[in-house]
Amino acid sequence: MLHQNNNPVKGKTTATSYHYRQPSYDIKMKRIKFILLLILTIQTAFAQKTSVNEFAAIDKRALQLPDSLTRTTGQIATYIKTNFTSDRDKSRAVFIWVASNIQYDVDNMYAINFYEKNEEKIAKPLRTRKGVCENYASLFTDICNKSGIKSFVIEGYTKQNGLTDNIPHAWSAALIDSSWFLFDPTWGSGYVDGRKFFKKINNNYYKARPATLIKSHMPFDYLWQFLNYPVTNQEFYEGKTQENKTKPFFNFIDTLNVYEKQNHIDQLISSAYRVEKNGVINSLVFDRLQHIKLEIENDRQTKTINLYNSSVTDYNDGITAFNDFINYRNKQFTPKKTDAEIQGMIDIAESKFNEARRKLVQISNADQNTTYLTRQLIKSIDDASKQMKEQQDWLKLYFSKSKAGRKSMFYKVTWFGIPLN
């Protein structure tokens, strides 16, 4: 969601007549004071203007990046690293380039898709020079990361003019000189008025402090507030975003370190816990939480299916190896193999059955059909293992005999119907 412009309502003026009179000494002194005040005001305004333009040199160099080198984030990052050294200057260069070169896509401002592939989120604005918040944030973060600056995309919702927006938003965080700062290249690029986008760089959304941006930007996961005393969704609605040390201390630095070491699903599981803990106060938070849980469940089901299918493959490989042994035995172990090679044939079958069984016991909370199939497969493995045990016992006896005794084991000799070997 782009920052909305709210123009003040202009009031009407009325004419008032005055009689001319010679100004008195007091009036002259007031005029002198007024002139002095005016001079001070102009000086102050000039000083403020100078402060606003503190990035002029960086911006100029960043915006000199040739269009031919902006087809990929890698090309842009190479230019950034070549022309800027400090993380502060690099982050400014990335921010001003993205905010200046990407136009807000007003027609698709309500078509935000957090679940689109990240590669497409980045490629689209480079290709079309248009995008919505997720494109701005993804582009900024990817260039930062490739420029040597650790950065993350943050998803959440916002508040403007005291009112909470009804569509989600995305912005970024970056680690600058060992401190985390927040960047919103979307709001920093301009504003929408009357469904038209007006380009106007707003430096309030460059390198913003977490304690400041939390007044208008609420992440779904409170980890991305970068605050030791996170603000709840309810407090955000009520405008109570000031630090409250009566709350339990949250070490977001340690939590972030753990997060970075987790796999994707474990990250989602921990994130879902924090999202839910911070209060499911609106449909935006609810939808995001449900999607996280759905992704976790889909991953569980996918792992279950993969485990089952892999077990089936192991079982079939085991049956193939076992049949190879049986066929070789039926040929009276010809052509000749060593004892170790013969034992290896049946060992392969046993290891395959054991591997299939090991995978199947990992399946839990499966649906009814998968549970039935799993039980049937375990029964098949058990039946095959019993037959294999018989062959192992036979083989053990075979190895214990002499050459003549081994040969006799391929023939059944009976005495009044009782096997002699």
Q: State the pTM of this model.
A: 0.77
Does 204 map to a domain? Answer: yes
Q: Does 203 share its domain with 66?
A: yes
Give the pLDDT confidence of 69-107 residue by residue, as tens digits.
Answer: 999 999 999 999 999 999 999 999 999 999 999 999 998
Q: Does 330 share its domain with 210?
A: no
Q: Which residues pair with 171 in a beta bridge?
A: 154
Q: Does 324 share its domain with 209?
A: no
In this prediction, residue 111 carries a pLDDT of 73
ω into 335 cis (within 30 of 0): yes
Structure tokens at 125: 């604005």
Sign of CA dihedral 108, 134, 158, 265: positive
How would DSSP label each residue in 264-304? HHHHHHHHHHHHHHT---SHHHHHHHHHHHHHHHHHHHHHH
Structure tokens at 382: 């058990």
Does 255 map to a domain? Answer: no
In this prediction, residue 110 carries a pLDDT of 79
Q: Does 200 share its domain with 320?
A: no
SS3 418: strand
Contacts of 101 (CB under 8 A, 6+ apart): 70, 129
Q: Which residues of the chain have pLDDT under 70?
A: 1-52, 412-421
CA-to-CA distance for 189 and 139, rounded, in angstroms? Answer: 13
Q: Does 194 share its domain with 311?
A: no
In this prediction, residue 52 carries a pLDDT of 53
Q: Does 215 share its domain with 306?
A: no
Does 232 map to a domain? Answer: no
Nearest alpha-carbon partner for 184 in 163, 160, 162, 153: 153
CA-CA distances (angstroms) from residue 247 to 232, 242, 243? 11, 12, 9
The mean of the pLDDT values for the chain is: 88
Q: Does 312 share its domain with 215?
A: no
For residue 399, what are the domain limits?
302-419
Counted domains in the chain: 2
Does 331 map to a domain? Answer: yes
Q: What is the maximum alpha-carbon separation in the chain?
A: 150
Residues composing the chain: 421
Give the pLDDT confidence of 358-381 residue by residue, as tens digits.
Answer: 999 999 888 999 999 999 999 999
Q: Does 310 share its domain with 404?
A: yes
Does 242 map to a domain? Answer: no
In this prediction, residue 127 carries a pLDDT of 95
* Domain C-terminal end among 167, 200, 219: 219
* Domain C-terminal end among 219, 240, 266: 219
In this prediction, residue 108 carries a pLDDT of 87
In this prediction, residue 365 carries a pLDDT of 87
Does 338 map to a domain? Answer: yes
* Domain C-terminal end among 169, 201, 219: 219
CATH code: domain of residue 118: 3.10.620
In this prediction, residue 35 carries a pLDDT of 42
Contacts of 149 (CB under 8 A, 6+ apart): 87, 90, 91, 94, 174, 175, 176
